[in-house]
C-alpha cells in the first residue's frame, strides 16, 4: 500500500518576481496548504515578524544548524544564508499535508536531488525591466543590493529548464490560478497512479 503522504511544492524564481505575493494569495484560497518558514541570517525588514516571515538567525547559529543536518537545503544568496528546516517538512508531509517552499534556485536544485518527487514551479517575470521595477518599487533593498539581486536573477533564469512548470507572473490572480491548477493536477496524477498500483496488487493476488 502506498503511504498517504503530502506533496512537496517548490516555488522559486528571481527576487522580486512576486513569489511571496503569489504564495500569500494562494494560501488565502487554499488554507489547507502548509508553508515552510525558512531560516535566514538577513536582517529583519520593517513589518516582518520572527517565526512568521522567517526564523532570524545569526551566522553562527545558522552554521550550527547546517552542521547538525537540520536543514533540508540551504544557500548563500547575496551575502546571507537562507535554509529550509528539515524536520518541519518531513513531519508535515508524513502527516499527509502538502508543503509549500518559497526559495531561490540554488536551494531548489538541492531539494530536487533529495526529493525528486517534489513539484518544481518557476515563477517568471513578464520582462527584466518589469522585474527591476518590482524590486525597486518594493523599496526594501539599497541600489547596490537591487543590482546584486538582478545579477543573480539572470543566472536563476538560466536554470529554468530544471523545473516542472513555468508560470509567468503578469497578473497575480492569473498566476495564482495557474499554480492552483498545477496543485490540483498533481493530486489527480498521483491518485491515478495509486489506483493503478492497487489494481496491480489485486490482480496479482487473484
Ligand X SMILES: Nc1ncnc2c1ncn2[C@@H]1O[C@H](COP(=O)(O)OP(=O)(O)OP(=O)(O)O)[C@@H](O)[C@H]1O
Ligand Y SMILES: Nc1nc2c(ncn2[C@@H]2O[C@H](COP(=O)(O)O)[C@@H](O)[C@H]2O)c(=O)[nH]1
Going by the annotation, the residues of the binding site for ATP are 13-20
Q: Which residues pair with 74 in a beta bridge?
A: 83
Number of residues that bind ligand Y (CB under 6 A): 15
Position of minimal CB gap to ligand X: 18
Using CB under 6 A, count the residues that bind ligand X: 14
Burial of 146 (0-12, 13-18, 19+ CB in 10 A): middle
Spell out a b/e string for 37-65, using b for 16 or more CB atoms within 10 Å of the CB, else e: bbbbbbeeeeeeeeeeebbbbeeeebeeb
- The entry of ligand Y, ligand X, none near residue 148 (CB within 5 to 8 angstroms by kind) is none
Q: Establish if 138 lies at the interface with ligand X (CB under 6 A).
A: yes
**For the range 43-49, what are the long-range contacts, defined as Cβ-Cβ under 8 Å and sequence gap of 24 or more?**
45/140
171 lies in the binding site for ligand X (CB under 6 A): yes
**Residues in 47-106 that interact with ligand Y by CB under 6 A:** 73, 75, 77, 82-84, 102-104, 106
**134 interface partner picked from ligand X, ligand Y, none, CB below 5 to 8 A per type:** ligand X
Task: Assess 169 for contact with ligand Y (CB under 6 A).
Answer: no
Distance CA 190, CA 24 (A): 25
Q: How far is the CB of 15 from ligand X (least distance, A)?
A: 3
Amino acid at each position: 500500500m502506498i503511504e498517504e503522504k503530502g506533496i512537496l511544492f517548490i516555488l522559486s524564481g528571481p527576487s522580486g518576481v512576486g513569489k511571496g505575493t503569489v504564495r500569500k494569495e494562494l494560501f488565502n484560497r487554499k488554507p489547507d496548504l502548509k508553508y515552510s518558514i525558512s531560516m535566514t541570517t538577513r536582517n529583519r525588514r520593517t513589518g516582518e515578524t520572527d517565526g512568521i516571515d522567517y526564523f532570524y538567525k545569526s551566522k553562527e547559529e545558522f552554521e550550527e544548524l547546517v552542521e547538525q543536518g537540520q536543514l533540508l537545503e540551504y544557500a548563500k544568496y547575496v551575502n546571507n544564508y537562507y535554509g529550509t528546516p528539515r524536520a518541519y517538512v518531513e513531519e508535515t508531509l508524513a502527516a499527509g499535508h502538502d508543503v509549500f517552499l518559497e526559495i531561490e534556485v540554488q536551494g531548489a536544485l538541492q531539494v530536487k536531488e533529495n526529493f525528486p518527487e517534489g513539484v518544481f514551479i518557476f515563477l517568471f517575470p513578464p520582462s527584466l525591466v518589469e522585474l527591476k521595477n518590482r524590486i525597486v518599487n518594493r523599496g526594501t533593498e539599497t541600489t547596490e543590493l537591487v543590482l546584486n539581486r538582478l545579477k543573480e536573477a539572470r543566472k536563476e533564469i538560466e536554470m529554468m529548464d530544471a523545473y516542472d512548470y513555468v508560470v509567468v507572473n503578469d497578473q497575480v490572480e492569473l498566476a495564482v490560478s495557474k499554480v492552483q491548477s498545477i496543485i490540483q493536477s498533481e493530486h489527480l496524477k498521483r491518485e491515478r497512479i495509486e489506483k493503478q498500483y492497487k489494481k496491480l496488487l489485486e490482480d496479482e493476488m487473484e
